[in-house]
Structure 1
Amino acid sequence: MAMDNRVTSIAILVFCSALACCNAGGVAAPQNIGQIFNVLNYGAKPGKNFDCTQAFILTWKAACNFVGPRARFFVPQGIFTVGEAVFQGPCKSQFPIYFQVAGTVQAMPDPSVYSGQGWMSFSHINGLIITGGGTIDGQGPLVWQYNDCKRNGNCVHLPASMHFNDVQHVKIKGLTYLNAMGFHMHITNSFMVSAHSLTITAPEDSPNTDGMHVSKSNSVKIARSTIRTGDDCVSLGQGATNVTVNKVICGPGHGISVGSLGKYPKEADVRGLIVKNCTLQGTDNGIRIKTYPASDPSAAAGMFFNDIVMENVKNPIIINQFYGSSSPKPSQVRISDIVYNNIRGTSATAVAISLKCSPAFTCTNLHFSNINLRPSPTAKGVFTSNCSNAHVMANGPHFPAPCK
Structure 2
Amino acid sequence: MAIAGKACTLTILIILCFALAYCEAYAKGVVRGVPDTFRGSNLARHDVPAPGEKVFNVLQFGAKPDGRKDNTQAFIQAWRAACDFKGPSRLLIPGGSFLISQVVFGGPCGGTTPKVVQILGTLKGSTDISEYPEAYWIVFESIVGLVVTGSGKGTLDGQGDSVWKYNDCSHSSDCQPLPANLRLNKVTNGVIRGLTSLNSKGVHVFITNCEIIRARNLHINAPADSPNTDGIHVSHSNDVRIAKSTIRTGDDCISIIQGATNIRINKYENEEDVKGITVKNCTLVGTENGVRIKSYPGSKESSASSMLFQDIIMNNVKNPIIIDQGYCPKSKCSNKSYPCQNVQLYDIDLKSQQRGPTAASCTNAKVRFGGKMNPPPCK
Instruction: Classify the TM-score, shorter chain.
Output: 0.7 to 0.9
Q: Confirm or deny: 8 A CA contact 2:342 2:368 kept in the other structure.
A: yes
Q: In structure 2, what is the equivalent of residue 93 of structure 1?
A: 111
Is 1:260–1:289's contact at 8 Å kept on the other side of the alignment? no
Contact 2:113-2:145 within 8 A present in 1 as well: yes
Map Cα deviations across residues 287-320 of structure 1 (whole Å, 9 max, x no partner): 0011112111111111000010111111100012
Q: Which residue of 1 is the match for residue 12 of structure 2?
A: none
Q: Which has the higher helix share?
A: 1
Match of 1:196 among 216, 220, 239: 216
What are the within-5 Å matches in structure 2 for residues 168-179 of structure 1? 168-179=188-199
The one-letter amino acid paired with 2:86 is V
- The runs of at least 4 aligned residues of structure 1 exceeding 4 Å deviation read 26-31, 325-330
Does the 8 A contact of 2:259 with 2:271 survive in 1?
Answer: yes
Residue 266 of structure 1 contacts residue 298 of structure 1 at CA under 8 Å; is this kept in 2? no
In structure 1, the partner of 2:14 is: none
> Which residues in structure 2 correspond to 1:33-48 (within 5 Å)?
33-48=52-67
Counterpart CA distance in 1 for 2:332 and 2:47 is 63
Deviation of 1:241 after TM superposition, in Å, equals: 3.0
Matched, 1:145 2:165: yes
How has the CA–CA distance of structure 1 residues 197 and 30 changed in structure 2, closer, same or farther, with 3 Å as cutoff? Answer: closer
TM-aligned CA deviation for residue 327 of structure 1: 6.0
CA distance in 1 between counterparts of 2:48 and 2:240 reads 32
- The correspondence for 1:388, drawn from 338, 351, 363, is 363
Q: d(CA) in 2 for partners of 1:81 and 1:383?
A: 49
Residue identity matched to 2:183: H
1:130 is matched with which residue: 148, 153, 158? 148
CA distance in 2, matches of 1:178, 1:265: 33
**SS at 2:281's partner residue?**
strand
Q: Please say if residues 270 and 300 of structure 1, whose CA atoms lie closer than 8 Å, have aligned partners that are also in contact.
A: yes
Give the equivalent residue in structure 1 for 2:72.
53
| Conserved 8 A contact 1:293-1:325 | no
- Partner residue, 2:304: 300
- Aligned residue for 1:323, secondary structure, equals coil
CA contact (8 A) 1:292 1:325 kept: no
- Which protein, 1 or 2, shows the higher relative CO under an 8 Å CA cutoff with sep ≥ 6? 2
Cα-to-partner distance string for 1:311-362 (whole Å, 9 max, x where unaligned): 11111000122223566765xxxxxxxxxxxxxxxxxxxxxxxxxxx41111
Listed as ranges, the gaps of 5+ residues in structure 2 are 1-44
Write 1 or 2 for the structure with the bigger share of strand: 1
Contact 2:214 2:242 in 1 (8 A): yes
Indicate the RMSD between aligned Cα atoms, in angstroms.
Answer: 2.1
The alpha carbon displacement at 1:383 in A equals: 2.1
TM-score (norm 1): 0.79
Q: CA deviation at 1:153?
A: 1.7
Query: For residue 342 of structure 2, what is the aligned residue in structure 1?
Result: 365
Cα offsets for 1:189-229 (capped at 9, x unmatched)? 11000101111100000011111000010100000010000
Asked if the contact 1:260–1:291 (Cα under 8 Å) also holds between the matched residues in 2, the reply is no
The residue that corresponds to 1:346 in the other structure is none
Give TM-score, length-normalised by structure 2. Answer: 0.84
Question: 2: CA distance between counterparts of 1:28 and 1:313?
Answer: 37
CA contact under 8 A between 2:264 and 2:270: conserved in structure 1?
no
Partner of 1:247: none
SS class of match (1:374):
coil
Q: How many Å separate the matches in 2 of 1:29 and 1:305? A: 36
Q: Please list every run of 5 or more consecutive structure 1 residues that lacks an aligned counterpart in the other structure.
A: 1-25, 243-258, 331-357
User: Aligned match of 1:401 in 365, 376, 379?
Assistant: 376
